[in-house]
Amino acid sequence: MKNIKIIGFDADDTLWVNEPFYQETEKKYQQLLSEYGSEEAIGKELFSTEMNNIELYGFGAKSFLLSMIETALKVSKQQISQCTIDKIINLGKELINSPMEVFENVEKVLSRLSKNYVLIVATKGDLLDQERKLRVSGLGKYFHHIEIMSDKQSENYAKLLAHLDVTPEEFLMIGNSVKSDILPVLELGGNVIHVPFHTTWAHEVVDKNDSIFNFPVVDNISQIIGMIFDETQN
Amino acid sequence: MKNIKIIGFDADDTLWVNEPFYQETEKKYQQLLSEYGSEEAIGKELFSTEMNNIELYGFGAKSFLLSMIETALKVSKQQISQCTIDKIINLGKELINSPMEVFENVEKVLSRLSKNYVLIVATKGDLLDQERKLRVSGLGKYFHHIEIMSDKQSENYAKLLAHLDVTPEEFLMIGNSVKSDILPVLELGGNVIHVPFHTTWAHEVVDKNDSIFNFPVVDNISQIIGMIFDETQN
């Protein structure tokens, strides 16, 4: 990690809580639709709608809300009440307005790293949502800018690095998703640190057999500092 | 325009047709809801919902679709049929999948300018949508990258210029919207060329009294070439 110039941070579930709010929303949604199927069955249908829509809608809360409405019509065979659809829209709006819970030690880490590196947020969330979260979190001052990615596959990172004008060796990605933040960057020859979070969206879960790489993992984001500065001092 | 290094192009209704597809979608939507009000009344309610949601949802087709669903529930006092809601979702999906119609002379202009300048797309559309349009249009090769902006006010452009590491004098913005592409860039001291399009979204319409600036306007995008190269040769 000697030559690092730019450090990319994933945002949701790396800097602040996100997935638990989605899961809470989904739980309420499943309860609203309980007469049309078990929580598990509704959840499965919703996930299937989301995956069908992902090419068209992409990631983020608005896509999730649209898929919730579509799934409600589908599982109810269009019997879902208009009032329930209205409640689903409100669930989506509440999700977008979720409270901000920055993880412990994040600010300390950003403050330290921003003295030596250019920090960016690299996320496939919605720009408006991520700008709002960055503002509310008070973390905006540590970042040079936000990079919105339509997906986080290795070709998306290749584009990002070209745009940032750095080589993979000069880039370090830090995030909670092995699938989105770690493997595609490793594939390009870039640097990574994995900061696991206890809750992972089904779409982000990696088959263990796919994960043939070794990469640094920290229990707590605060350990990053020692890891980067020890390495760079060698 | 002597010192220009980077040229930003707005995308929708500057490079390719967009607003007419929205208006066509809205027309079909008004017809679906005709039992609940005149086209004008439905259109007014929809616009009001869009404006109420803009802080939460931002711009783009998904936001428009969510506002169409919400408005349908509202104007029908939740009497709208589930089948009609399903049709509205399909209208939104069709809108996202609208055909690509690049304006005449756009490719010629981009090809010429890309030899001397770094070109970027600067848009407040959805990244996924804009990447798809750029790919389908075949224009992607002329652009260094896409900049997604959550809004196009002067503070958003100020951030953009800082991120691109250019001064306002080194930046030229080309677009069809006086409100979003021209006035905020002028305000920062940047360069602009206005390429009007016959159809403008109500949100983008500028009160003539607000427009106290003089700025270059071209009838056809092909005139940009003469304008830029004549000026830079001086």
CATH number of A6-17+100-233: 3.40.50.1000
B85 neighbourhood in chain A, CB within 8 Å: 69, 73, 82, 85
State the angle between helix axes of B39-57 and B61-75 in degrees (0 to 180), rounded to the nearest 10: 130
Can you name the residues that pair with A171 across neighbouring β-strands?
A6
Q: Are A103 and A15 in contact (CB under 8 A)?
A: yes
State the span(s) of chain A assigned CATH 3.40.50.1000: 6-17+100-233
B131–A150 CB contact, under 8 Å: yes
Q: Which CATH superfamily is domain B6-17+101-233 in?
A: HAD superfamily/HAD-like (3.40.50.1000)
- pLDDT band for position B230 (cuts 50, 70, 90): confident
A227 residue type, one letter: M
What secondary structure, in 3-state letters, does chain A show?
CCCCCEEEECCECCCECCHHHHHHHHHHHHHHCHHHCCHHHHHHHHHHHHHHHHHHHCCCHHHHHHHHHHHHHHHCCCCCCHHHHHHHHHHHHHHHCCCCCECCCHHHHHHHHCCCCEEEEEECCCHHHHHHHHHHHCCHHHCCEEEECCCCCHHHHHHHHHHHCCCHHHEEEEECCHHHHHHHHHHHCCEEEECCCCCCCHHHCCCHHHCCCCCCECCCCCHHHHHHHHHHHC
Confidence of residue B155 (pLDDT cuts 50, 70, 90): very high
Dihedral sign for Cα atoms in the order B69, B72, B78, B83: negative
The one-digit pLDDT tens for each residue of chain A (234 residues) are: 789 999 999 999 999 999 999 999 999 999 999 999 999 999 999 999 999 999 999 888 999 999 999 999 999 999 999 999 999 999 999 999 999 999 999 999 999 999 999 999 999 878 888 889 999 999 999 999 889 898 999 999 999 999 899 999 999 999 999 999 999 999 999 999 999 987 766 676 666 555 566 899 998 999 999 999 876 554
Residue A123 has what pLDDT? 94
Q: Which residues of B touch A (CB under 8 A)?
A: 56-58, 62-63, 65-66, 69-70, 73, 76, 78-83, 85-86, 89, 92-93, 96-97, 126-128, 131, 144-145, 148-150, 159, 162-163
Computed over its alpha carbons, how large is the radius of gyration of chain A?
19
Q: Is the pLDDT of residue B128 over 90?
A: no
Instruction: Identify all chain B residues contacting A135, using CB atoms and an 8 Å cutoff.
Output: none
Residue B34, classed as helix, strand or coil, is helix
Q: Which residues of A touch B128 (CB under 8 A)?
A: 57-58, 150
Taking contacts as CB-CB distances below 8 angstroms, the residues of chain B near A78 are: 81-83, 86
CB neighbours of B66 closer than 8 A, spacing ≥ 6?
Answer: A62, A65, A66, A89, A92, B53, B57
> Is the pLDDT reported for residue B231 higher than 70?
no
CB contact under 8 A, A82 and B80: yes
Would you identify the CATH topology of the domain A19-96? Answer: DNA polymerase; domain 1 (1.10.150)
pLDDT at A230: 76
Q: What is the pLDDT of residues A19-78, one digit of tens each?
A: 999 999 999 999 999 999 999 999 999 999 999 999 999 888 999 999 999 999 999 999
pLDDT at B59: 86
Within chain B, all domains assigned CATH 1.10.150.240 are found at: 19-96
**Which of B33, B62, B71 has the highest number of chain A CBs within 10 A, making it the mutation to test binding with A?**
B62
DSSP B48-101: HHHHHHHHHH-SSHHHHHHHHHHHHHHHTTT-S-HHHHHHHHHHHHHHHTPPP-
Q: What is the pTM of this model?
A: 0.88
Cβ of B68: how many Cβ atoms within 10 Å? Answer: 24
Segment B57-100, tens digit of pLDDT:
988 999 999 999 999 999 999 999 999 999 999 999 999 999 99
